[in-house]
Amino acid sequence: MKEIEGGVTAAKGFKAAGVHAGIRPGKTKKDLGLIFCDVKCAAAGLFTTNLVKADPVLLDIETLKDPYAQAIIANSGIANACAPNGMKHAREMQKITADAMGIDADLVLTGSTGVIGMELFTECIADHIGELKKELVSDPSGSDACARAIMTTDTVKKEYALEAMIGGKPVRIGGISKGSGMIHPNMGTMLAYITTDCAIAPSLLKKALKEACAQSFNRISVDGDTSTNDSLIILASGLAENPRIEEAGEDYQVFRALLSTLCVNLARKMAKDGEGAKHLITCSISHARSVSEAEQLAKSVIGSSLTKAAIFGCDANWGRVLCALGYAGVEFDPAKTDIRFASSAGRIEVARSGRGLAFDEELAKKILSEDEVVIEIDLHDGESEVTCWGCDLTYDYVKINGDYRT
């Protein structure tokens, strides 16, 4: 596989756009995005595990009972969650888009992100849907505009695209995502939209999406909060004209690897762009008894406020890492556990067999001062390994969330 340009417009048949519609009064950024395909697509989605679900999420779950779609309309600024007339406005958003694009309403998926509890008045969407349709393009600028339209506290846009040969045909896949805070497995306060021109049965598209999500978005954490609006959606146009994937054979495995690589890239970008974050934290667990146990342990480390604070302070306080392992709810032997810190500045072992080692504090500080830091943990207890991603906890996180609504 190879990296290409284009984000959600890289695959054949897809266009995208983003405009400022005035969703939230007083804001001037792009806040309304649209992804549209020339043809009806196979579709699949995964959504928040929070029992409190935003109305656009509930509407998408209902719409995807028939696993086909042709458009995704999404706004930032207001989450349309726990809000007055939430479902009414979500359906209006769906119908406004369908009427403008000349398709059935049940081929439109909706997404919202932003402040919970505020009413989303759809007049501004109706007023700007014509402009949004006019702005639709199939080049990278369309993906860029759409990626920026769904951002809230994100500091950078998040998009990626790849290409690989499947069934003798070049198949493209691309995605955009947003998410910076209120991120915790499983999935985060994220909108992630993926497009591909692969020809694949809807059932296998859903299967691949679940497997890719488990290895990516479900392995990141910023702050321990699971959002009401998490949505991960993929559309497949089939325009690559590869032999349609109907079973989990070799072509399916290539597609799954392509999708997983894309999702890991977007997930890492979300973790690195955690609200106020200075460091991307990667936690790698090796020689665990099972993947599920390794994942539970790694998530405990990246979710530990004390570990996150230590990385922010460039303090090689490995005891906080071992402590986080200890309350993860997984049986392991601390007396077999080794811990190392690593980055582009080097690698240093700080604990062996559960006991501290004498180490160069200056080198450790230099290693932890890089913007990407790896915590390597060897359990010496099996053959499984897992990697999860998080970020440090900074003063700015509190500042950003202290007055987010006001």
Annotated catalytic residues are 189
Residue 383's Cβ-side half-sphere holds a number of Cα atoms within 13 Å equal to: 0
In angstroms, rounded to a whole number, what is the distance separating the alpha carbons of residues 191 and 195? 13
Considering only CA atoms, give the Rg of the chain: 22
In angstroms, rounded to a whole number, what is the distance separating the alpha carbons of residues 163 and 317? 42
Strand partners, 283: 375, 388
Residue 317's Cβ-side half-sphere holds a number of Cα atoms within 13 Å equal to: 16
E-strand ranges in 217-367 read 231-236, 280-288, 338-343, 346-352, 355-356
Closest Cα to residue 185, out of 260, 311, 297, 110? 297
Tell me which residue has tokens 């402590």: 323
Residues with Cβ within 8 Å of 88's Cβ and at least 6 positions away in sequence, in order, are: none
Tell me which residue has tokens 């989450």: 79
In degrees and rounded to multiples of 5, residue 307 shows phi and psi of -65, -45
Torsion of CA 152, 278, 307, 382, to 10 degrees: 90
For 213-252, give the DSSP string.
HHTTGGGB-SSS---S--EEEEEE--TT-PPPB-SSSHHH
Instruction: Compute CA 8 distance to the chain's CA centroid, rounded to the nearest angstrom.
Output: 14
Contact indicator for 152, 188 with CB cutoff of 8 Å: no
Contact indicator for 134, 34 with CB cutoff of 8 Å: no
Strand partners, 128: none
